[in-house]
Amino acid sequence: MIFFSNSVIVFIFIEALLLLLLSIAFINVVGILKSWDFSATSTKQYLLEKRSYLVLLIIFFTLGFKIILLPYFIYMIDELNVLVPGAMCAAGVINSNIYGVYLLSLKVRILFLVGLWIILNHYDLQAKDYPFFKKKLWLFILIFFLIIAESILDIFYLINIVTDTPVSCCSAIYGVSGISNPIPFDLHVSELLGLFYLLYGLTLISALYRYALLSLFSNMAFLYSAYYSVVYFFGTYVYELPTHLCPFCMLQAEYFYSGYFIWGTLFLGTFFGISAALLQYITGKEIKKMYRYSLAFNSAFILFCSSYVLLYYIRNGVFL
Amino acid sequence: MQNKLFYNFLFLLLLKHRIKHISIFIISTLIVFILSSVILLSNALQEEINTTLDSQADFVVQKMRAGKSVNTPVSWSDEFREIEGISQAQPRVYGQYFFEPNAEHFTIVGIDFFDEQKSKNLQKLITNLDMKKFLEKPNMLIGHGVKALLDKYYFFDYYVFKTPHQEKRKVNIYQTFPKESSLLSNDMIIMDIDLAREILGISEERSTDIALYSPNELEAGNIYVKLVLKHADIRVIQKSDIAKAYKHLFNYKGGLFLILYMIVLLTFMMILYQRYSMVQSSDKKEIGILRALGWSIKDVIILKVTESFMVAFGAFLLGFILAFFFVFVLDAPLLSNIFYGYANLPMDISLHRSIDFSLVSLLFLFYILPFMTAVLIPSWKASVIDPLEAMR
Amino acid sequence: MIQLENINKIYNESRPNSFQALKDISLHVSKGELLILKGVSGSGKSTLLSIMGSLIKPSSGSVIVDGESIAKLPDLHASNFRAQKLGFIFQSFNLFEALSVADNVAIPLTNQSLTLEALHVSVGDAMEIAHISHKKDTEVRLLSGGEKQRCAIARALVNSPKVILCDEPTANLDSINSQKFIATIKELNALGKTIVIATHDPIFETLDARVVNIENGSLLKR
C-alpha cells in the first residue's frame, strides 16, 4: 500500500501539522475580523493587534513550508514511480487516478495565491495604518479553504494510487498517437509556437509600459500557451527525442533537473505579471518592481527554452 | 539576514539560558538518534538487498501441482532457451535441510561446477575454489551461521546428512564463507549438484526450479507472456516482482515504525510547548528591555524562534551523527534484529554506507517541523509582552 | 518637539478593577528643552513618560513627537521610531549583566541595518560622551553603580536620539554619582537634546529646568 512509503508518511504528517497551525490562525482571523477597528484605542483592540502578530507568524511559517512542499511533493511523486507499474516518471504516477491532475493544478494555484498574499502583506505592513488589513485576512480565509480542499484531495489521491494495475506513461498520456490532437483549438505545433512568441511579446509590452489589464490577460494566456509549447515542442529538444512528450521527465537528474528551472521561471514570470495587475486593483498602487520581475523571469524562461532549440540546431544542423 | 551583532547576541542568550535548553537538547538528540538509526538501517538494508537482487535471475520458473511448486523438469530449460531474449536457462537444485539437533533449517544449494555460473552472487562465493580438490571427495562450503551451529554440536570437520531414502551421506566441510557475505550465505551450504540431488531427494531429470536470464529488461513483459503460455502448470516469478515485494516489506516495517514514532513526536511537541511557555520573569525582563530599546515584536520573535531553531538544529546534527556511527560503525546491535527477523539464523553483517540528500532532508523535515510548530506560539507569547510590565 | 493633547490612560477598562492612571493631560515640550516631571510614585509620571516613548498606547488623546503622531503606530513603526529618535534611561539601569559594555550599548542599533563600521563608530562615540570607553569590554556585572549608569547613558545616546527620556535615573545612585549624572544631563542638553526626566529626587532642583508637577494622574497648575 502506498501509504507505507516513508516519504508519503512524512508528507502527510507535515501537511497535517501545517493544517493544524493554519486552523489556529483561521480561528484567530475570524475573531480579529469580527471586532477589528484600527482607529479604536481600547484594550480589546490592542489585544487584537497582538493576536494579529501570531496570525502573521503562523501564516509566514506555514506558507513558507508550503512553498517547500510543492517541489517535495513532485519529487516524492517522481520517486514513487518504481512502485507504480508502467510509470517511468511523475507523469504516470500523477495520472494513475483522476485526482492527480486536479491536485497538482490546485497546488499551483494555491502557491500563486500565497505569493500574492505575501506581497499584499508586505505593503500592508509598510504603511502606518494597515490599509489592506481586512483584505489580506479575507484572502487568507480563501487560501485556508483551498488548502483544506487540497488536503482532502491529497488523501483521495494517495489512497487511490494503484500499485497493481499498470498505468500509462507519458508518451501515452501526452502523445499524438491518438486520433485527436491534444493541443487545444486543434493547433499545429508551428501555429502554437507563433501564438506563444506573440503572447510573450504582449507580456513584454505590458511589463515595459505597465499596462495592468494587458499584463493580466497576456500573462494568463502566455502561461497557458507556454505549458503546451514546453510539452509539445521545447521538451522534445530537452529530451532530444521528437516523440518524448512529457512535462515531468525533465525534472529528473538525467536532464540536469532543468525542468525545475523551466517551470520555475515560467511560474514566477507569469505570477509577477498577473499579481502586478491584481495588486494594482486591490491596493490602487502601481508596483514597478513586479513588472520588472515579470519581465526578467518571462525572458529568462523564453531564452532558456529557445536556447535548447538553437543549440540543437547548431550541433546537428537540423531541427527535430 | 540578521547581522553579526544579532548572532553575537543570540549566542550569548543561548549560553545564558543553557540550563533551560539542555534538557530539550538531550531529549531531541535521543529522538533524532532513534529515528535516524531506524531509517538509516532500513535504507542500508534495502540497498544491500537491491544489489543482491541485481545479480539474481530475471525469471524463475517452477512447475506447479495443487497450488504448490514441485520439482521442475530439466527438459523445460531447452524449450525456454528457444525463446528470443532469453540468454541462459539454468536448472537449479536447492532446498531446505532440517537440522534436527537444533530444530533449524539449512539451505542446501547444488552447483554444477562445470557449468558457467550465472548467478553473480554464487559466483562470488566460489571464486578461488580449487575445484579439482573440492570435487575429489564429498565436500561442502558452508555459511557463517551454519559453521556456528555445527561447531555447537561438535561437527567440526564434517556432517552426516540423512537422505529422504534413509541413507546416510558424510560430507566434509571444505571452507566457511567470509562474514561479509553473510546476508546471502549465512545459512547456506554449497555442494556439488549431484550430491545435493541425493541429499534433497531430487531425481536427475528434475530440478527445484529453472533460472532464466534475459539481458534486455524492456522485453521482460513480452518474455513473461511467452513463458506463461508454454505450459499449463507453470509459475513464472519476475525479478521486478521480488524487488517490489521487498520494497513493500521494507515500506511496511518502516512505515509502521514511522507512524508509531509520530506519537513520540507529538508527545515531544507537548513537552516543548510546555517548556518554552514557561517564561521566567528574568526572560520577560530581557524582552521588555529589548522592546523598549527599539526591537520590534517581529525582531523579538525572530530572536526567540532562531534560539529554538539553534537548539533543534544542534540536536539534529548530533543525533544524526551518532546514528550514523551506530548503524555503520557499530553495525546497529539490537536494532538490526527487528529488521532481520528471527526466521533465519542470527546474522552478523557489516552494512554498506549509503546516505543521500533526500534521506537526510526527509529526516530533517520529519523532526524539525513538529519542533518548530511547538515553539511558535510560546515564542509569540513571549514577544508580545508589554515592555513596561516586563521590566517591573 | 513633544505634544501631548488630552491624554487619558485607563487600565482594565470595563472591568471592576479599572483604574485611570492619567486624566486628560495636555503638555508641550519644546525642542532642546529640559523638563522635569515631578511627582511621588504612583502619581502617573512613569506612565506619562512611557506614553511619550510609545511604550504604552493612550486610551485617548494624541501624541506627536518630532512631528510624528505615535499614538496609534503599528508596532513595526513604533519600534523603529524608538530606535531612531528616542533614548531611554531606566531606574534600575536594565542592562544585560552578562554582556560587555560595548555590546549593551549596541543593542538599540542591532536591527537598524547599519554596516558594522557605522555601528562601531556610533557605539564608540556614545561611550566617549558618557565617559565609559575605558570599560568597553568589561562585563556589566563587574561595574560599579556609577559605571553602570554611564553605560546606560551611552546606550541611550548610541542612536543619536532627538529625545532622551529618564525614569527615576538617580534612584539607585549615591549622591556623588547623582551629581555626576546631573552634570552629564547638562552636557547632553547643551548638545541640543530634548530631555524629559520623571523623578521625585530633590537634587534635580539644582538644574535650570522647567518643572511640571503631576499628582493622581493630573498635572498641577502652579
pLDDT score, position B346: 46
The whole-number average pLDDT for the span B91-104 is 86
Count the domains in chain C: 1
Q: Quick check: A277 and A216 in contact, CB under 8 A?
A: yes
CATH code for the domain of C81: 3.40.50.300
pLDDT score, position B144: 83
> Exposed, middle or buried by CB within 10 Å (0-12, 13-18, 19+), for B100?
exposed
Instruction: Work out the angle at residue C136's Cα, subtended by the Cα atoms of residues C133 and C137, and round it to the nearest 5 degrees.
Output: 155
ipTM: 0.87
SS3 of chain C: the string is CEEEEEEEEEECCCCCCCEEEEEEEEEEECCCCEEEEECCCCCCHHHHHHHHCCCCCCCEEEEEECCEECCCCCHHHHHHHHHHHEEEECCCCCCCCCCEHHHHHHHHHCCCCCCHHHHHHHHHHHHHHCCCHHHCCCEHHHCCHHHHHHHHHHHHHCCCCCEEEEECCCCCCCHHHHHHHHHHHHHHHHCCCEEEEEECCHHHHHCCCEEEEEECCEECCC
User: pLDDT of B65-81, one tens digit each?
Assistant: 888 888 888 888 888 88
Residue A144 in grid coordinates = 485556508
The whole-number average pLDDT for the span C39-67 is 85
The whole-number average pLDDT for the span A161-171 is 72
pLDDT higher than threshold 60 for residue B345: no
- Interface check B245 vs A, CB under 8 A: no
**Minimum mean pLDDT among A222-236, B248-262, B349-363, C55-69: which range?**
B349-363
> Exposed, middle or buried by CB within 10 Å (0-12, 13-18, 19+), for B66?
exposed
Chains that touch B (3 or more CB pairs under 8 A): A, C
User: pLDDT of C99-151, one tens digit each?
Assistant: 888 888 988 888 887 888 888 888 898 888 888 888 888 888 888 888 888 89
Rounded to 10 deg, the angle between the B18-54 and B357-383 helix axes is: 160
**Between chains, do C72 and A129 touch, taking CB under 8 Å as contact?**
yes
pLDDT score, position B118: 66
Provide the pLDDT confidence category of residue A150 given band limits of 50, 70 and 90. Answer: very high
Query: How big is the B-C interface in CB pairs under 8 Å?
Result: 83
The residue that leads in pLDDT, B307 or A94, is B307
**Pick from B2, B12, B293: CB nearest C108:** B293
- Judging contacts by C-beta atoms under 8 Å, the chain C residues touching residue B290 are 107
Residue A100 in grid coordinates = 492527480
Kindly provide the residue ranges of all beta strands, DSSP E only, lying in C80-160, ordered along the sequence.
Answer: 86-89
Residue type, A72: Y
Distance of CA B172 to the CA centre of its chain: 34
**Pick from B248, B255, B373: CB nearest A9:** B255
Q: What is the pTM of this model?
A: 0.79
User: If we measure between CA atoms, which residue out of C51, A108, A61, C199 comes closest to residue B306?
Assistant: A61
Domain ranges, residue C79: 2-219
* Residues in C 52-71 with any Cβ partner in B closer than 8 A: 53, 55-56
User: pLDDT of B234-283, one tens digit each?
Assistant: 888 888 777 777 777 777 777 788 888 888 888 888 888 888 888 777 78
**Between chains, do A53 and C58 touch, taking CB under 8 Å as contact?**
no
* Residues in B 269-298 with any Cβ partner in A closer than 8 A: 297-298
The whole-number average pLDDT for the span C199-220 is 83
The whole-number average pLDDT for the span B200-221 is 83
The alpha-helical segments, DSSP class H, found in chain A are: 6-35, 43-79, 90-94, 99-126, 133-159, 170-174, 189-209, 212-229, 235-239, 258-283, 288-316
Distance of CA A138 to the CA centre of its chain: 21
pLDDT score, position A42: 76
User: If we measure between CA atoms, which residue out of C143, C81, C117 comes closest to residue B293?
Assistant: C81
User: pLDDT of B290-319, one tens digit each?
Assistant: 888 888 888 889 888 998 999 999 999 999
Mean of all residue pLDDT scores within chain B: 82
Range from B279-288, B299-308, B351-360, C166-175 that averages highest in pLDDT: B299-308
- Interface check B152 vs A, CB under 8 A: no
- Interface check B221 vs A, CB under 8 A: no
Range from A291-305, B132-146, C50-64 that averages highest in pLDDT: A291-305
- Judging contacts by C-beta atoms under 8 Å, the chain A residues touching residue C60 are 41
pLDDT score, position A181: 67
What residues does B97 pair with on adjacent strands?
B106
pLDDT score, position A175: 66
**Between chains, do C111 and B6 touch, taking CB under 8 Å as contact?**
yes
**Minimum mean pLDDT among A258-267, B28-37, B246-255, C7-16: which range?**
B246-255
Distance of CA C221 to the CA centre of its chain: 24
Q: Quick check: C172 and C144 in contact, CB under 8 A?
A: no
Residue C116 in grid coordinates = 558594522
Instruction: Give the CB-side neighbour count of residue C163, counting CA atoms within 13 A.
Output: 25
- Judging contacts by C-beta atoms under 8 Å, the chain B residues touching residue A21 are 373, 376
Query: How big is the A-C interface in CB pairs under 8 Å?
Result: 24
User: pLDDT of C9-52, one tens digit each?
Assistant: 888 777 788 888 888 888 888 888 888 988 887 788 888 888 88
Residue C202 in grid coordinates = 530633590
pLDDT higher than threshold 90 for residue A18: yes
Residue whose C-alpha cell is 539607585: C172
> Exposed, middle or buried by CB within 10 Å (0-12, 13-18, 19+), for A284?
exposed
pLDDT higher than threshold 70 for residue C219: yes
Per-position b or e across B311-328, b if 16+ CB within 10 A of its CB: bbbebbebbbebbbebbb
- Judging contacts by C-beta atoms under 8 Å, the chain C residues touching residue A124 are none
pLDDT higher than threshold 70 for residue A34: yes
Residue whose C-alpha cell is 526626566: C197
The residue that leads in pLDDT, B3 or B15, is B15
pLDDT higher than threshold 50 for residue B342: no
Residue of chain B minimizing CA distance to A69? B365
The residue that leads in pLDDT, A74 or B369, is B369
User: If we measure between CA atoms, which residue out of A77, A97, A71 comes closest to residue A5?
Assistant: A77
pLDDT higher than threshold 70 for residue A3: no
Residue whose C-alpha cell is 537548539: B311
Provide the pLDDT confidence category of residue B121 given band limits of 50, 70 and 90. Answer: low
- The C-alpha atoms of residue A96 and residue A89 are separated, in whole angstroms, by 12
pLDDT score, position B184: 65
At a CB cut-off of 8 Å and minimum separation 6, what does A288 contact? A210
pLDDT higher than threshold 80 for residue B119: no
pLDDT score, position A145: 95
Q: Which region holds residue B32: left if phi is over 0, alpha if psi is between -120 and 50, else beta?
A: alpha
Instruction: Work out the angle at residue B343's Cα, subtended by the Cα atoms of residues B339 and B347, and round it to the nearest 5 degrees.
Output: 60
Provide the pLDDT confidence category of residue B343 given band limits of 50, 70 and 90. Answer: very low
